[in-house]
Structure 1
Amino acid sequence: MKRTKIVKRRPRARPTSPAPAPRFDLVLRGGRVIDPSQSLDGVHDVGIRDGKIAAVLPAIEKRDGRESLDVRDRLVVPGLIDTHAHVYQHVTGAFGMNPDLVGIRSGVTTVVDQGGASPLTIQGFRKFIVEPAVTRVFSFVSNYLVGGLVGHRYTELYGPHGVNVRETIAAIEGNRDLVKGIKAHAEVGGYSRWGIETLKLAKEASRATNVPVYVHLGRLWREADGTRIDPDVVVPEMVPLLDPGDIIAHPFTKNTGAFVSREGQVHPMLFEAVEKGVRVDIGRGGHLSFAAARSVLDAGIVPFTVGADVHGYTIRRPGDGSWDGGYFDERGATRRDPARPIGGASVFSLVQVMNELLALGLALPHVIRMVTANAAMMLGLEGEIGTLAPGVAADVTVLARDVGSWSLEDSVGVQLTATERLRPEFALKAGRLHRADSPLLFESAAA
């Protein structure tokens, strides 16, 4: 009888569990995260998944990130929002800039075009500017049917006869996703011709659609022939027309007819406006006066948002090296006299305006709030942009912060010494990285 051979089988090896998939596509590690919308200010890691913010934590394990970027010694903030841009390129002539030059390539993820598109040209703005841009672009549609052609050079086009309230309302109602307000003016040259009538028409459309009006304050056009207007009469007529949420621009302007009277005092009615909920946007452009800024800030008015107001009349345009002074002479032509430029700097960006505010004494967290949470609130988009809250699009700006001594210059050539400087290094737009390589990024002179 054969014996049964007993074969001892080795136990089968249990299958190895696959390593867990990384939780995040990208992790920004070790930066100082400042997000005023969530009262965050400290060293955190930011996890991004599927183009959205997935987590902001004190530390994220290395294995949890498919890719990591070391941003130690950097500021990590919600994607910057420029509330005053001019980006209807080509249609507005030399005035309009490329939206990505002003936006994503300058470390800015969202820009608001102020008055370039009109009720009649808003669809072209959508198709040829908004849709091709990497930068998120919104519009405050022009109060005027012609829009911002060549920077409002032809004064005669911007009176009440050039406003159609019905068309403005239709443009807003048909483009709610794009149009967030109306751009209007209250300035001395227009006042000498039509009083405050164009602003009244803007407010009619504004109240019908429940969107804010953004008001340019400060001389733009020459007074009508044969007229002399006291520039300080504009503010008292403007303020009663405004509602909470409306915006007044250019508080730091060097021009007359604005925040600071000819006597050097802030108009009392502007305190009333701010008290009732009217907001103030810097609108730097070619208007900046450090002296006016000091007067306004010392009086207790701190702007709510920061619009850089970069346009082709304030800079040497990249590519052709030309300088356009931006003031209009008696024939309506632009001056090209470098002794009378509209702006003091050859190039600048939103971050450069932030540097000017820091030099004027505003605290860094407050400046970050102005270009993130406050700007989102101005647009009615709080909780959607200007925040690093989990679930929102991963729009993030990463800034270097330098310490040293630099000289900043306003629009009349006055210099101010800065002891710190922000520099955009890159921005994420919906999680995709874009280097800050715009020629508009300004290197301050050493003091």
Structure 2
Amino acid sequence: MKYDFLIKNGQVFDSEAGKFSVGDVYVRGGKIAAAPSVNEESEVNTVIDAKDKFVVPGLIDEHLHLDLYGSMIGVNGDLMCIPNGITTACDGGTCGASNFRQFYNSNIIRYEASTYSYLNVQTFGNKSLCIHEEDHDPKDFRPDLIENTFAKYPDVLRGLKVRMCLGTLGNEQGLAPLVKAKEISEDLKSKGYYCPLVVHYDNLPDNVKVADLFNVLGKGDIVAHVFQVKRETIFEANGKVKDAVLKARERGVLMDDCHGRVHWSFPSLSSAVKENFYPDIISSDAVRISEYVRPGFSLLFAMTVQSAAGMDLEKILKAVTINPAKALGIADKAGIIKEGYPADIAILDIRGTDMQLTDNYGNTVDGNKLFVPLLTMKSGRVAFRQIFF
């Protein structure tokens, strides 16, 4: 039986080991196939020469907003994912129990990339373009509706989202929404659902401290916008990472760059690098007004920014492949190039650059790497390819 594709001579990334090796990748029937005992290109329908290019698992954008038709903030997943080497994406909790069904029917099942989602703990979801952000009074949370939604979409829903910021908490709620959301998350897990808690951390009110927030979280929970710069941050005045944050990481709490536009700065990223405190996950947090607009732009741009800030290439690639796959509970089907796994593959040209990069606050650094997408394969089908490759 012939192979559908041979990707030869590429720098193939082993996402588990975090290493490259020159090699070939065979594809048959939508999956990664074992190499033949004798390398005969005549047994391959299509040969792709990836010499001097980087063959990596299809990228995973673990946190962006994809409700294109039902909200004011969703991007078009078909434009933001496949052309950027992304074969798996997870919505960052745009919708709650009352509107998740329309999101699933009008967006999720239509997108080319495998699409998952977090569920917003607030029944009506994210209204971040409104003057008043979503109500986070825990008395208004509906555990019954949340559980019903998880029961209907158990394979798609990958966690529960709560927003901890001044816009949702005001000066009244304190930690109560986080504690209630954690309680719901733990209850769902006890019933067999995959449900870590995903926390939007930003611009905390005076009565919520970073240490208090991180102390609530446990293994598998995710902190989004971990390098955010508004009001209290994860850093002490001397630039050291706060003890409660380090202890949370030791417990297995995952740190998500969750890039966006306003949730990071080069000084913040530089402080993290100095402390050897790298994100477990890099995601784009793309919304409608930031897609392909700097300094948000795309997942590939977030990777470029992290490289300029001092993050090693191998760490960056793990943060957009195997790490988010594990965080989403889908490491058996994404984030790795391995025999028997879906043939979700990205071929990248990683080029040197001195392009200047500027954050949302006017800080500028010189870039060092550009991540240029050459080809995206989804389930063994070439879904995108540059004309010159």
Q: SS at the partner of 1:433?
A: strand
Offset at residue 37 of structure 1 (A) = 2.4
Q: SS at the partner of 1:77?
A: strand
Residues 209-232 of structure 1: per-residue CA shift (max 9 Å, x gap): 221111111118xxxxxxxx537x
Q: SS at the partner of 1:111?
A: strand
Q: How many Å separate the matches in 1 of 2:348 and 2:131?
A: 37
Q: How many Å separate the matches in 2 of 1:237 and 1:385?
A: 34
Matched, 1:148 2:126: yes
Contact 1:256 1:262 in 2 (8 A): no
Q: SS at the partner of 1:184?
A: strand
Q: How many Å separate the matches in 2 of 1:59 and 1:360?
A: 44
Match among 130, 135, 146 for residue 157 of structure 1:
135
Match of 2:92 in 1: 114
Give the TM-score of the pair, scaled to structure 1: 0.80
Q: How many Å separate the matches in 2 of 1:273 and 1:311?
A: 28
Superposed, which structure 2 residues align to 1:21-420 within 5 Å? 21-22=1-2, 24-37=3-16, 41-55=20-34, 60-93=39-72, 95-151=73-129, 153-155=131-133, 157-189=135-167, 190=169, 192-210=171-189, 211-219=195-203, 229-230=205-206, 233-261=208-236, 264-286=239-261, 287-315=263-291, 345=294, 348-420=297-369
Q: Give the aligned residue type for 2:95.
A: A
Q: Which runs of 5+ in 1 are unaligned?
A: 1-20, 221-228, 318-344, 438-447
Compared CA separation, residues 76 and 243, structure 1 to 2 (3 A): same
Residues 324-348 of structure 1: per-residue CA shift (max 9 Å, x gap): xxxxxxxxxxxxxxxxxxxxx1661
Offset at residue 368 of structure 1 (A) = 0.9
Q: Give the aligned residue type for 1:120.
A: S
Q: How many Å separate the matches in 1 of 2:69 and 2:328?
A: 26
Match of 1:434 in 2: 383
Q: How many Å separate the matches in 2 of 1:26 and 1:133?
A: 24
Compared CA separation, residues 187 and 60, structure 1 to 2 (3 A): farther
Compared CA separation, residues 257 and 346, structure 1 to 2 (3 A): closer
Offset at residue 236 of structure 1 (A) = 2.2
Offset at residue 166 of structure 1 (A) = 2.0
Compared CA separation, residues 66 and 436, structure 1 to 2 (3 A): closer
Q: Give the aligned residue type for 1:182.
A: L
Compared CA separation, residues 359 and 55, structure 1 to 2 (3 A): farther
Compared CA separation, residues 156 and 401, structure 1 to 2 (3 A): closer
User: Superposition RMSD on alpha carbons, in Å?
Assistant: 2.2
Offset at residue 67 of structure 1 (A) = 0.9
Q: How many Å separate the matches in 1 of 2:129 and 2:221?
A: 22
Offset at residue 185 of structure 1 (A) = 1.8
State the identity %. Answer: 27
Offset at residue 156 of structure 1 (A) = 5.7
Contact 2:5 2:47 in 1 (8 A): yes
Compared CA separation, residues 294 and 151, structure 1 to 2 (3 A): same
Contact 1:107 1:436 in 2 (8 A): no
Offset at residue 415 of structure 1 (A) = 1.1
Deviates more, 1:130-139 or 1:410-419: 410-419
Q: How many Å separate the matches in 2 of 1:57 and 1:153?
A: 60
Q: Give the aligned residue type for 1:215.
A: V
Q: SS at the partner of 1:33?
A: strand
Compared CA separation, residues 179 and 292, structure 1 to 2 (3 A): same
Q: How many Å separate the matches in 2 of 1:142 and 1:258?
A: 24
Contact 2:296 2:302 in 1 (8 A): no
Q: How many Å separate the matches in 2 of 1:299 and 1:363?
A: 14
Q: How many Å separate the matches in 1 of 2:88 and 2:217?
A: 26
Q: How many Å separate the matches in 1 of 2:34 and 2:264?
A: 39
Flag the structure with larger Rg.
Answer: 1
Match of 2:192 in 1: none
Contact 1:89 1:129 in 2 (8 A): yes
Contact 1:45 1:59 in 2 (8 A): no
Q: How many Å separate the matches in 1 of 2:335 and 2:108?
A: 19
Offset at residue 359 of structure 1 (A) = 1.4
Compared CA separation, residues 56 and 75, structure 1 to 2 (3 A): farther
Q: Give the aligned residue type for 1:67.
A: T
Q: Which runs of 5+ in 2 are unaligned?
A: 190-194
Q: How many Å separate the matches in 2 of 1:160 and 1:107?
A: 39
Q: How many Å separate the matches in 1 of 2:282 and 2:230?
A: 19
Contact 1:249 1:283 in 2 (8 A): yes
Give the TM-score of the pair, scaled to structure 2: 0.91
How many residues are treated as equivalent by the alignment?
A: 379
